[in-house]
């Protein structure tokens, strides 16, 4: 199913620009322009990367929310960043705009969404690497244990997201998950299985894991297993009954 944009691209960009000026007043003018254009592109695409078509709401929900997690991202060591399950490039493209010093990789398994990310990145003028692949496959390749910071937003419940993200994170690096949930025992256990620990975040709305050691050989499990059989204490890989 495709969705027609509610407003023209020019109007969407203007509305998003106004929202960002009000809700993220410290943004540099050039960054605000790029992010307003990104909002217009996301709202207009028929790919279905978001159900939100109103540019003011999209700017607040996708961009301002991503910017709110910056303190946790900035606390990661210097080095490349990966956005897992990037969807429409969120939050990865937002972070690439405001933190251009970090080499940014966006991992999205759905080919048409990955194509949209690449096209949007080119249009807003940011250089990123787009991987049309599952994170489990990327985590078995040359990018295993490679990233200083790995982020995810709306990817999966935190314990599942942790298992998908941590194999890409290097020892000493961190995973930042946008989530309103508390860091419960299930997340603590899943993190420990992949050699990480949960730490207090620098800002609200995110969960932070610090990678302690190289990824154990059995991770990542084959595609789909993290969601099908989540890690949990007392059960290894077996699903709950």
Q: What is the 3-state secondary structure (H, E, C) of 47-63?
A: CCCCCCCCHHHHHHHHH
Q: Are 193 and 89 within one domain?
A: yes
One domain, residues 80 and 61: no
Give 232's pLDDT tier (boundaries 50, 70, 90): confident
**Are residues 200 and 82 located together in one domain of the fold?**
yes
95 shares its domain with 199: yes
**Could you say which of 66, 89, 107 is where a domain stops?**
66
Predicted confidence at residue 235, as pLDDT, reads: 56
pLDDT score, position 237: 52
In a domain, residue 233? The reply is no
Q: Length of the chain in residues, anyone?
A: 241
Average pLDDT, the chain: 93
Q: Would you say 236 and 163 are in contact if contact means Cβ atoms under 8 Å apart? A: no
Q: Is the pLDDT of residue 168 over 50?
A: yes
Q: CATH number for the domain including 154?
A: 3.40.50.150
Position 100 scores a pLDDT of 97
The residues pairing with 197 across neighbouring beta strands, listed in sequence order, are 210
98 and 187 assigned to the same domain: yes
92 lies in a domain?
Answer: yes
Q: Domain count for the chain, please give it.
A: 2
Q: Which pLDDT band, with edges at 50, 70 and 90, does 165 fall under?
A: very high
Residue 7's pLDDT band (boundaries 50, 70, 90)?
A: confident
In angstroms, the CA 125 to CA 139 distance is 28
Q: What is the 3-state secondary structure (H, E, C) of 75-106?
A: CCCCCCEEEECCCCCCCHHHHHHHCCCCCEEE
For residues 193 and 99, state if they share a domain.
Answer: yes
**Residue 3, in any domain of the structure:** no
Position 45 scores a pLDDT of 82
pTM: 0.93
**Half-sphere exposure for 89 (CA within 13 Å, toward CB):** 32
pLDDT digits (tens, 9 = 90+) for 182-231: 899 999 999 999 999 999 999 999 999 999 999 999 999 999 999 999 99
Among residues of the chain, what percentage have pLDDT more than 70?
93
Over residues 134-162, mean pLDDT: 97
Range(s) of the domain holding residue 50: 9-66
Higher pLDDT, 134 or 182: 134
> Which residues have a Cβ under 8 Å from the Cβ of 6 and sit 6 or more positions away?
12, 43, 53, 54, 55
Same-domain check for residues 81 and 200: yes
Rounded to the nearest 5 percent, the helix, strand and coil shares of the chain are 40, 15, 40
Same domain, 161 and 209: yes
Of the residues 48, 66, 84, the one at which a domain ends? 66
**Residue 15 covered by a domain:** yes
**Are residues 84 and 16 located together in one domain of the fold?**
no
Per-residue pLDDT reduced to its tens digit, 92-127: 999 999 999 999 999 999 999 999 999 999 999 999
Residue 68's pLDDT is what? 97
Q: Do 178 and 214 share a structural domain?
A: yes
Helix (H) or strand (E) holding 41: helix 29-44
Give the residue from 25, 40, 66 where a domain finishes: 66
- What pLDDT does residue 238 have? 46
């Amino acid at each position: 199913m495709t969705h027609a944009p509610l407003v023209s691209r020019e109007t969407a960009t203007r509305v998003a620009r106004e929202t960002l000026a009000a809700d993220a007043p410290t943004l540099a003018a050039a960054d605000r322009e790029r992010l307003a254009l990104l909002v217009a592109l996301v709202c207009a695409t028929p790919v279905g990367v978001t159900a939100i078509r109103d540019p003011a709401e999209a700017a607040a929900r996708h961009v301002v929310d991503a910017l709110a997690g910056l303190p946790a991202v900035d606390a990661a060591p210097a080095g490349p960043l990966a956005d897992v399950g990037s969807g429409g490039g969120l939050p990865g493209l937002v972070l690439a705009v405001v933190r251009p010093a970090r080499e940014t990789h966006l991992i999205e398994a759905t080919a048409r969404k990955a194509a949209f990310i690449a096209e949007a990145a080119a249009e807003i003028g940011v250089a990123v690497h787009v991987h049309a692949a599952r994170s489990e496959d990327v985590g078995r390749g040359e990018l295993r244990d490679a990233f200083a910071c790995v982020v995810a937003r709306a990817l999966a419940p935190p314990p599942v997201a942790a298992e998908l993200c941590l194999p890409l994170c290097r020892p000493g690096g961190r995973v930042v998950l946008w989530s309103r949930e508390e860091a419960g025992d299930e997340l603590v256990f899943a993190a420990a299985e992949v050699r990480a620990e949960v730490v207090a975040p620098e800002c609200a709305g995110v969960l932070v894991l610090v990678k302690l050691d190289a990824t154990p050989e059995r991770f990542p499990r084959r595609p789909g297993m993290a969601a099908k059989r989540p890690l949990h204490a007392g059960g290894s890989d077996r699903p709950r009954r």
